[in-house]
């Protein structure tokens, strides 16, 4: 009994929880009553469970309603009409909401990645459509279509955001929206905890880090705020250092290639199949070097050719030094 209640308290309002409710009802029905008082308690528990289940938009809610109808007719023929009439509006609202939910979930499942695992957004058309499908569903839940009380409505929205975060694990805006919802209902500690979790999942997301720091600052948790900003600075510094090392290696290779070409009297090659550009390199980062090396396409013979090659080597070296100075200046800033 306690296991069923624990599960239903946490996921009983999930769209797919219909079978759990049916199993719980069957479990209560299977209990043997040894006295009239026990039988009365059993009837009351069944009625309460049925009335809770039929008001939730879960799969098989219509089957649960049919069972509830039969239960009331068997238990109290005279009072059955009154009990069913009392629960009928809630059931009709839940059934209508389930049909709307099915459309939202069809869109979500129809655009989900084929492997089903969270992945960084590549902003393909399918991914954008998947994100939009989730946003439409979240907006629907925020509108409180079941007309629930404040606490129950908040519980459903929080659960919906939890599902979205699991599916869109690497999308910063979903985490931030979730935290903002917590803050909007006065649960500041939960909002901060959610941003702290997002900070661990997405350490490179400045949007998440700044939202985390701002929330901590509003709550006067300045130590947390300082820690977040220092972490951002350290990660940015590390990224710049890695970029510096990468481009320094590239420029050193260009330098050696030009020197080899100067010694052999051949034109320096542009890398060809030997060296492919780094996938994360910026288009404009090596302009000075590329312009200098591209001059090597001129061909001539004799001393004038060697002199021009030496000049090219000198220009490349100057470009390398300029690039290094620019990177150092960026790091200093």
Element (H, E) at 259: helix 222-264
Please tell me the predicted confidence (pLDDT) of residue 181.
97
Question: What is the per-residue pLDDT for 184?
Answer: 96
Distance of CA 116 to the CA centre of its chain: 13
pTM for this structure? 0.73
Tokens found for residue 224: 């947390």
pLDDT average per 10 residues of sequence, the chain (333 residues)? 92 95 94 82 94 96 96 87 92 96 96 84 93 97 93 95 95 97 96 96 94 95 94 89 86 80 59 44 43 42 66 73 71 60
- What's the confidence (pLDDT) of residue 273? 39
CA–CA separation, 127 and 174 (whole Å) = 14
Cα 45 to Cα 159: distance, rounded to the nearest angstrom = 26
C-alpha pair distances (Å), 6 with each of 10, 11, 318: 6, 9, 70
Radius of gyration of the chain (CA): 33
Residue 298 pLDDT: 43
State the DSSP string of 4-47: HHHHHHHHTTSTTTHHHHHHHHHHHHHS---SHHHHHHHHHHHH
DSSP for 293-308? HHGGG----HHHHHHH
Give the side-chain half-sphere CA count within 13 A for 268: 27
């Amino acid at each position: 009994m306690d296991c069923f209640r624990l599960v239903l308290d946490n996921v009983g309002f999930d769209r797919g929880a219909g079978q759990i409710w049916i199993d719980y009802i069957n479990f209560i029905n299977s209990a043997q009553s040894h006295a009239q008082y026990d039988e009365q308690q059993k009837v009351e528990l069944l009625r309460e469970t049925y009335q809770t289940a039929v008001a939730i938009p879960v799969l098989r809610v219509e089957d649960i309603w049919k069972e509830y109808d039969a239960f009331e007719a068997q238990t109290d023929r005279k009072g059955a009409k009154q009990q069913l009439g009392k629960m009928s509006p809630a059931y009709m609202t839940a059934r209508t909401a389930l049909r709307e939910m099915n459309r939202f979930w069809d869109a979500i499942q129809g655009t989900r990645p084929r492997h089903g695992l969270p992945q960084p957004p590549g902003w393909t058309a399918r991914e954008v459509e998947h994100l939009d499908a989730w946003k439409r569903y979240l907006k629907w839940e925020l509108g409180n279509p079941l007309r629930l009380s404040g606490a129950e409505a908040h519980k459903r929205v929080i659960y919906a955001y939890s599902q979205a975060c699991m599916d869109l694990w690497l999308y910063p805006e979903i985490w931030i929206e979730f935290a903002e919802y917590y803050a909007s209902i006065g649960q500041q500690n939960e909002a901060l905890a959610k941003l702290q979790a997002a900070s661990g999942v997405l350490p490179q997301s400045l949007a998440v880090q700044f939202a985390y720091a701002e929330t901590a600052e509003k709550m006067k948790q300045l130590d947390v705020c300082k820690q977040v900003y220092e972490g951002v600075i350290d990660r940015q510094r590390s990224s710049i250092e890695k970029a510096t090392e990468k481009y320094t290696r590239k420029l050193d290779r260009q330098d050696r290639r030009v020197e080899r070409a100067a010694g052999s009297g051949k034109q320096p090659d542009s890398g060809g199949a030997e060296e492919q550009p780094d996938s994360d390199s910026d288009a404009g980062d090596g302009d000075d070097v590329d312009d200098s090396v591209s001059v090597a396409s001129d061909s001539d013979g004799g001393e004038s050719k060697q002199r021009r090659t030496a000049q090219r080597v000198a220009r490349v070296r100057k470009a390398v030094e300029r690039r290094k100075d620019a990177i150092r200046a960026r790091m200093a800033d």
